[in-house]
Chain A
Amino acid sequence: MATNEQYRICQSTGLRVYKSAENLIKANAVVAVVFLAIGGLFGLMVALTRWKAVHLLPADWFYLVLTAHGINVLIVWIIFFEMAVLYFASAVLLGCRLATPRWAWAGFVLMLIGAIMTNVAVLQGDSSVMFTSYVPLKAAPSFYLGIILFAVGALVGCFVFFGTLVLAKQERTYEGSVPLVTFGATVAAIIAVFTIASGAIILIPTFLWSFGYISHIDTLMYRTIWWGLGHSSQQINVAAHISIWYLISAVVLGAKPLSEKVSRGAFLLYILFLQLASAHHLLVDPGISSEWKVFNTSYAIYLAVLGSMIHGLTVPGQIEAAQRKKGFNNGLFEWLRKAPWGNPAFSGMFISLILFGFLGGISGVVMGVEQINLIIHNTIYVPGHFHATVVAGTTLAFMAVTYLLVPLIFQRELVLPGWAKVQPYVFGIGVAGISLFMMGAGTLGVPRRHWDISQADAILPYDFPGAANLMMGLNGLSALLAGVGGIMFVVVVVGSILFGKKIESSSEVAKTDPAAEVATKYGSEEHPSVPGTLVLVAVFFISFVLYYYVNWKYLAEIWPLR
């Protein structure tokens, strides 16, 4: 089909960028960053309240702010940014116009109205039901309606993405299979469809219940179906940020996948099994059989974990292969030492990869074991785990790719390049601290979602060990550091968009940068040699096994078998 839609050719990458896709990517990314700033501020207030020496907020404000933090960062920031990623991975990487841009704008507006509506409901003070909004806690109807509108908007965005894949195939803008990054984004969109459907199944009746049209919603039914939304929404992130790891290593280093087949096979394991991890949240709930729990959290999910471990090998592996081709062949790790650590896109991506694998991945698998889960269930260990996956993994990867999007999509040079250079390190160290110290405190029994660690007003008070209080203090300090990193990111990105030097573009055909071309084509590295990566993988496995058995030992000490 012929089209008169305007496009430009990016002079640095040679990618063809259609105006409709560009505007939607810009709008979604900008709104995402605004909600990141809001949600991050709420998160800092949560951490400072849980720090015993500071104890910033009163109880009612704590639960309000905790609700706002969860909604804004776990849902709004991430899904707005994922919409930008979907439009980028389809329209830009396939060199195609966006299918039905008007529907995409309608979806964007619905998401924005929904996000604002839910935020207003929370800030009015009668919807402090936290991210999970478990019944019988009842929020204002506008709280549920806002989430439903947001989800419908996101679903529209997913189908615009699928439509763009069809359009690109019809118009033959690519040959053979879609590029790996686009395939990963497809996986994210597929998981999003299941996620949103689960949310609709439970939130529409809950919305009616909040009005009084439905008299009762079963709590276990709510929890089971809601986690199809709550946890799967975080699995969208995993697929999206791993696609971004592949994208950044391709664009920055020209790294080709070690094996397209293996990486796509790993993504296929996500499609088949990753969403079953939702069952982790129900491991101690009565009424559901062990067969259901064990199948969904162990046998099936281990296949998805296998997918993650494959990506954990192939992403650093393709970086090593690309670096070795450039001549960094001395010893096991010259490729890593001489990687572009001053490029925030690369450093952010690599820190995201390490923290996601070592902290988020290992802790996630260990806590998914039904028996070990009993040690840490509903303790602050759980937020420790998901701050490693969602903040260190996803958010840092999204920050990293933003440093590529600003010149490519916004056509602006980065302002404050020195800040940009150190920002991933500041944010990464801060988030690693948050994650580790929360997991440490959780292991000592500190509950999650509790306003007062000293439990001063409890009928049966309990004193946590001094180490737990120390860790919650260190968590507060780490949150401050991560907050500084977050502010640096917002200042650099907003400053670049508003005041950055304009980069000229053209509608003329430019020679595609070979590095960027790798991201737009199907193809594997030929005869790669990755000994350094294999050593890193061995270190990962040893850490994994040790941590796994330490937890079994810990469990055995709690209930000695005599």
Chain B
Amino acid sequence: MSESEKDTNENEEKIPVMQQLLDNPFLLLFLGVTIPTVFYLIWGIMEIVTIPIAK
């Protein structure tokens, strides 16, 4: 196998990280549920439960 063929094969095998992310629906599902859960729901709920109770 010549040097140039080797290079070509290596290039074909490399899948960029972003493409790996975008091709994995379950990883995307994890991100799409976790991020709003943390920033919107959990953060929001924490703020509400720390409101002092009126006496």
> Which residues of A line the B interface, CB within 8 A?
162, 165, 177-178, 183, 186-187, 190-191, 193-194, 197-198, 201, 218, 220-221, 224-225, 228, 232, 261, 264-265, 268, 271-273, 275-276, 278-279, 282, 287-289, 292, 295-296, 300
Contact = CB atoms under 8 A, between A and B. Distances in A.
B53 to A, nearest CB: 11
Contact of A194 (B21, B22, B33, B51): B33
Contact of A190 (B19, B29, B40): B29
A335 B43 CA distance: 48
A162 B26 contact: yes
A521 B13 CA distance: 20
A224 B44 contact: yes
Interface in B14-55: 18-19, 21-23, 25-26, 28-29, 31-33, 35-37, 39-41, 43-45, 47-48, 51
A224 B48 contact: yes
A169 B36 CA distance: 28
A220 B51 CA distance: 11
Contacts of B29: 162, 190, 193
B33 A186 contact: no
B32 A288 contact: no
A275 B40 CA distance: 8
Given A194-B37, A264-B22, A300-B39, A271 B31 contact: yes
A197 B40 CA distance: 13
Contacts of B28: 186-187, 190, 268, 271
A224 B21 CA distance: 30
B35 A228 contact: no
Given A162-B25, A162-B26, A221-B48, A279 B32 contact: no
Interface of B, helix, strand, loop or mixed by DSSP: helix
Contact of B33 (A165, A197, A201, A295): A197
B22 A224 contact: no
Contacts of B45: 221, 224-225
Chain B: number of interface residues, binned into ranges: 20 to 34
Contacts of B41: 198, 201, 224-225, 228
B35 A272 contact: yes
B44 A292 contact: yes
Nearest 5 A/B pairs, CB to CB: A190-B32, A275-B36, A271-B32, A224-B44, A194-B33
B36 A287 contact: no
A218 B41 CA distance: 15
A228 B42 CA distance: 11
A494 B23 CA distance: 38
Contacts of B22: 177, 183, 264, 268
Nearest to A218: B48
Nearest to A273: B35
Contacts of B35: 271-273, 275-276
A186 B48 contact: no
Contacts of B51: 287
Given A193-B33, A276-B36, A276-B39, A186 B47 contact: no
Contacts of B32: 187, 190-191, 193-194, 271-272, 275
9 contacts: A177-B22, A186-B28, A187-B28, A187-B32, A193-B29, A194-B37, A225-B44, A287-B51, A288-B47
A279 B45 CA distance: 12
Contacts of A178: 23
Contacts of B43: 292
Contacts of A190: 25, 28-29, 32-33
A265 to B, nearest CB: 8
A275 B37 CA distance: 9
Nearest to B40: A276
B39 to A, nearest CB: 6
Given A162-B25, A186-B28, A193-B32, A296 B47 contact: no
A273 B31 CA distance: 10
A120 to B, nearest CB: 31
B40 A278 contact: yes
B54 to A, nearest CB: 12
Nearest to B46: A292
B50 to A, nearest CB: 9
B26 A292 contact: no
B20 to A, nearest CB: 10
A522 B36 CA distance: 29
Nearest to A268: B22
Given A190-B32, A193-B33, A264-B22, A228 B40 contact: yes
Contact of A287 (B23, B25, B37, B47): B47
Residue with the greatest number of chain A CB neighbours at <10 A, chosen from B26, B44, B47, B51? B44
Given A193-B33, A271-B32, A177 B40 contact: no
B40 A220 contact: no
B11 to A, nearest CB: 15
A232 B36 contact: yes
Given A177-B19, A287-B48, A228 B25 contact: no
Contacts of B25: 162, 165, 186, 190
A218 B31 CA distance: 29
